[in-house]
Amino acid sequence: MWDNPKNLLSRQDIENLQTELLRENIDYAFSNVKFYKEKFSKIGINKSSINSIEDIQKLPFTTKEDFRDNYPFGLFAVPMKNIVRIHASSGTTGKPTVVGYTKKDIDTWSDLVARVARSASVTDEDIVHIAFGYGLFTGGFGLHYGLEKLGAAIVPASSGNTKRQIMLIKDYGATVLVCTPSYAMHIAEVAKELGINPKEDLCLRVGMFGAEPWSEGLRKKLEEALGIKAYDNYGLSEAMGPGVAGECETQNGMHIYEDNFIAEIIDPDTGRPVKDGEYGELVITTLTKEALPLFRYRTRDITRLNKEKCACGSIFARMDKPIGRTDDMMIIRGVNIFPSQIEEVLFGIDGISPHYQIVINRVGALDDAVILVEANEHLFFDDMKHQRMLVDEINAELKSALGIEIKVKIVEPSSIERSIGKAKRIIDNRKI
Ligand code: DLL
């Protein structure tokens, strides 16, 4: 059994611990954060309102807008003297979301990321190449300190300059690659262009990928191209960064570290909890954070929870790979569709490069989408007939998987922008 604290043997144990920590945290936030004091007072909530884990539903949600309204440090529960690190999430619109950490928070964070890495079979014998950006983004530093705690040898390559990254991976004999799954795919392709066969010429054995939605299809492509076992891990800056959840060897969902977080799944429209095992929006409450306690944060990520004990021995609940964000959902001819569902279909088809973009438009009151798919050189330049066959095949597969057809356009090889961080899979013209 990995990483279950010994005193947590059943769901009841977890829920008892969560209830106790939640009560303490409400008291702590009430005394130290004006925003929560006002919010809780208004609806008459205090520590004694919480007697079981279900009582969490009495608390109001926190949203990204609350971070914006309190920009930059208004949600911090400690004086600046006690803050030792600041990160921020980029956000495509408006001010970034700013998060702070005390020394103790950094310690907790490293422990959590070390757990994620260990469950992905990483040990102190590994040489870990981190190609996440080191900066305001939590990916680089977050993974770095956790892996350092585990005792691995870290190559803090940060993002960019892919050819140099490949040289470092080869020369230093990296055994673990840490980055976004889309950038890992780019690394695999550039390696091939350089005449390097990752399976033979590199020592990589494990990929720890996260920070963006990715399909099982992409997992297979990455495992095949790099000769690795690819593990998913999930997190978000507001709750800490990476280290919220990660896959174990069974790869049957990501274990949420429930001794540090409470996870709920709600109906994004009504805010009510969904039935056990159903899809909905993930809502996260932190239990151990000092600088920035967070209550019922609306992540906008759509997933579902499995609270059955895992074959690995852990009783921590598992979340499915998020299928997307509520903001990215399209309603095409009445069918709710997430980009990752389209990815799953595309990556099951031979002859498609793993690069695509979805352009979403609003036509009247309806959503409309075009999928741009890269073809390989031969198909694009020489073979109109095969191009048409490919479009037909994609549409037939979309129709059978999702029940609708979506416009597909085959585009030139290498014409879709490669990202060094999170891939830009969606051009959403509805938001302009
Ligand atoms: O992406 C933290 C992170 C860094 C996680 C490195 C894992 C590895 P943010 O920049 O605040 O933080 O973005 C958080 O990214 O709400 C999800 O929409 C998405 N996301 C993160 N991990 C996954 C994942 C980091 N494994 C937002 N699968 C989240 C799908 C993910 N989406």
Q: pLDDT digits over 378-429, tens only?
A: 776 667 888 888 899 999 999 999 998 899 998 988 899 998 899 999 998 9
- The pLDDT tens digits for 115-129 are 999 999 999 999 999
Closest by CA position to 413, among listed 374, 386, 363: 374
Ligand 1 centre to CA of 143 (Å) is: 12
Residues 6+ apart with CB under 8 A from 235: 138, 142, 210, 211, 241, 242, 243, 244, 245
- Within 10 Å of residue 29's Cβ, how many Cβ atoms? 20
Which CATH code fits 1-325?
Answer: 3.40.50.12780
Spatial separation of the C-alpha atoms in residues 91 and 252, rounded to whole Å: 30
- HSE value, Cβ hemisphere, 13 Å, CA-based, for 380: 15
Residue 277, SS3 per DSSP:
coil
If phi > 0 it is left, if psi is from -120 to 50 it is alpha, else beta; for residue 3 that is left
> Which 8-state DSSP code applies to residue 259?
T
CATH superfamily, with its number, for domain 330-431 = ANL, C-terminal domain (3.30.300.30)
Q: Is the pLDDT of residue 171 over 70?
A: yes
**What φ, ψ does residue 118 adopt, rounded to 5°?**
-65, -40
- Name the H helices within 211-251: 216-226
How much is the pTM? 0.96
- Token pair for 84: 């030792």
Q: Is the peptide bond before 198 cis (omega within 30 degrees of 0)?
A: no
The residues lining ligand 1, judged by C-beta closer than 6 Å to any ligand atom, are 89, 132, 137-139, 210-213, 232-237, 241-242, 299, 301, 321-322, 325
Cα 106-111-114 angle, rounded to 5 deg: 120
Rounded to the nearest angstrom, the distance between the alpha carbon of 240 and the centre of ligand 1 is: 11
Residue nearest to atom 1 of ligand 1 (CA): 211
Please give the pLDDT value at position 351: 75
Cα–Cα distance measured from residue 167 to residue 238, given in angstroms and rounded to the nearest whole number: 34
Q: Please give the pLDDT value at position 92.
A: 57
Return the ligand 1 atom nearest residue 301 CA: 18
Q: Whose CA is nearest to atom 13 of ligand 1?
A: 236
Closest Cα partner for 230 from 262, 277, 263, 198? 198
Mean pLDDT of the chain: 94
Q: Within 13 Å and on the Cβ side, how many CA atoms surround 321?
A: 21
**Can you tell me whether residue 46 is helix, strand or coil?**
coil
Identify the pLDDT of residue 405.
85
Give the integer Cα–Cα distance in Å for 194 and 415. Answer: 19
Question: Is the pLDDT confidence value at 3 over 90?
Answer: no
CA-CA distance, 87 to 96, in Å (whole number)? Answer: 10
* Domain extent listing, the chain: 1-325, 330-431
DSSP 8-class letter at 223: H
Give the strands of the sheet with 261-266, arranged side by side: 261-266, 280-286, 297-303, 324-325
